Chains A and B, each alone.
Chain A
């Protein structure tokens, strides 16, 4: 006699209760607040907003908390929420030249209008563990005396900071930004992608693509797999106003600001009999302060433009269908992790075949043996 418990529903309930318990951790410690996450784990929140494609600091902080710090899980939570949101309209394109800049560096010029602005960066920190952050009492971070000197983050009344690519463009040294021909860009969240895709679709996919994946691909372009000699023309991070134009109202209104990171690379030139040599560009734009992602995106974006720029294909980062089909971590994690779902029906089918083939193999050997013995 064989009986099995009908445990599915109850087991799931219990598993979720355990999950909630583990998420909460030690109940003697205070529950972490969303404001704490939003204020102190900013880069985690930024990544969740960027790859979740939804600019909402509070919801991203909630997702980070609910996901126990698993950022891909948090991104997934945000995406699943985002997909249900009704659309009221489309904002005008962001003007990054008008950014309230918090950080701006150029690797191509020592000095330039608006200057270099280091801003909040890990760059040049010594990567030494700072044990004082782990101390709660006097002398620790929780203590008032420990507070770092407050620095104004933005350059107050800063002089204008034109984009490096605009400066180059004035001399005709870099290819122009693509013309706005007024057509609505493809929206990959509303329509299925079919390859090949245009540049705006590529950029959309990369902007919500997985940071680690783009980092590895971008890195590969630096190591000879679709090398295009990049310079970081500029990387800037700061606040940009979102402008909404309501046709029925007949005027524009500001919806507020979002923080974004923009990276423009200046890459190896192109030229032909008809056009003089010019630098080309790769573009990266990400919600929040996500420099690694913005730079990786720019490298990969540039590599994907091989055809348009008459370059030789062959590297992984140039393969549009490959790069774009696998850059979404919500898709990737779902499909990789689905392998833990039951597959025993299919496995049974394979077991059957392997057993049968083994039996046949055995039979053949036996027959061969008999034949040999008879000879």
Chain B
């Protein structure tokens, strides 16, 4: 960081990718240890970032430490490139690192994500950086770090199994639907971040490098490529993922994670891909769901994908000219499949 006096207050300029080099080295060392001990949470001296804790400071620090000038960065939140926080983080790196950004999963060399793993299979030179709020999988069973650290040291994970089994006794199901715990390389139990358990199987034997950053909790962990990642389960209650009853209403994809969009107050709803790049790519290739838009009618500032429809001003002061949501909905209640996508 440099300051240069202009007028009354100093002008402030920042290093490439914001972090100073000493901080990057410290994070890089943590990343190397995290890779060497898959699933183990390496403590690191997370810095205060110019964005709030809980909004991706861990992921941002990992990305900043890894990023080079030739990288192509993609940032997603809830699977979408255009959710506000994804836009803000992408803008941060465009500004501080000047790197190329993309929404294409296949073009990206680094993908920073919150809550999803892309539907498109990742390749071996890609890095997936997860934003993690609570890295400790045992935290909600034992709030004390001093205790959980012991449990990891002893590989004592009985507590987790008891919790999952209590769920089954009480609800007939394992009630954990996201942030579903996994065992990495046969040793550490790890929180995969709050991705839906639907995404858990994608972590197993993934050719890409997966890095996890928790800024507020000051932890970094990793899954090297082609590492065994098993979702915890029981013989009589095997791990299962969600399966949706209907295909994506826009691109007709099946076997993907869908978002439910409420269309009106009379029960109208539709289900569309949460992964906007995947959905757009399919639509461009001519796939059409029952509520899809013909390709030629989509103008450049209209994305026929899911978007939260964010407005900067209250309704009545529209800043966006486009709002074509119409149509009564259909019922697409998801149902649980059999053992599809078992991570083991």
Contact = CB atoms under 8 A, between A and B. Distances in A.
- A touching B, CB within 8 angstroms: yes
Interface of A: 1-15, 17-18, 34, 58, 62, 76, 79-86, 189-196, 321, 325, 330-331, 333-338, 341-346, 348-353, 355-357, 360
Contacts of B315: none
Contact of A1 (B15, B146, B260, B293): B293
Interface of B: 1, 8-9, 12, 14-15, 18, 20, 43-50, 52-55, 57, 77-79, 82-88, 91, 114-116, 133, 144-146, 149, 171-173, 175, 177-179, 194-198, 216, 218, 242, 249-250, 257-261, 263, 270, 272, 274, 291-293, 298, 301-313, 319-327, 333-336
Given A14-B312, A196-B146, A337-B52, A352 B242 contact: yes
Which of B45, B53, B171, B324 has most A Cβ within 10 Å? B53
A8 B173 contact: no
Given A7-B311, A86-B20, A345 B257 contact: yes
Contacts of A352: 177, 242, 333-334, 336
A77 B219 CA distance: 23
Given A8-B82, A12-B84, A335-B53, A2 B311 contact: no
B320 A10 contact: yes
A353 B272 CA distance: 18
A79 B48 contact: yes
Contact of A11 (B261, B291, B306, B310): B310
A192 B86 contact: no
Given A4-B325, A79-B48, A15 B312 contact: yes
Contact of A2 (B82, B261, B335): B261
B216 A6 contact: no
A187 to B, nearest CB: 9
A58 B14 CA distance: 20
Contacts of A62: 9
Contacts of B323: 4-5
B322 to A, nearest CB: 4
A2 to B, nearest CB: 5
B55 A341 contact: yes
B170 to A, nearest CB: 10
14 contacts: A5-B301, A5-B303, A7-B307, A76-B52, A80-B49, A84-B1, A195-B146, A333-B52, A334-B54, A334-B216, A335-B133, A344-B274, A345-B259, A353-B177
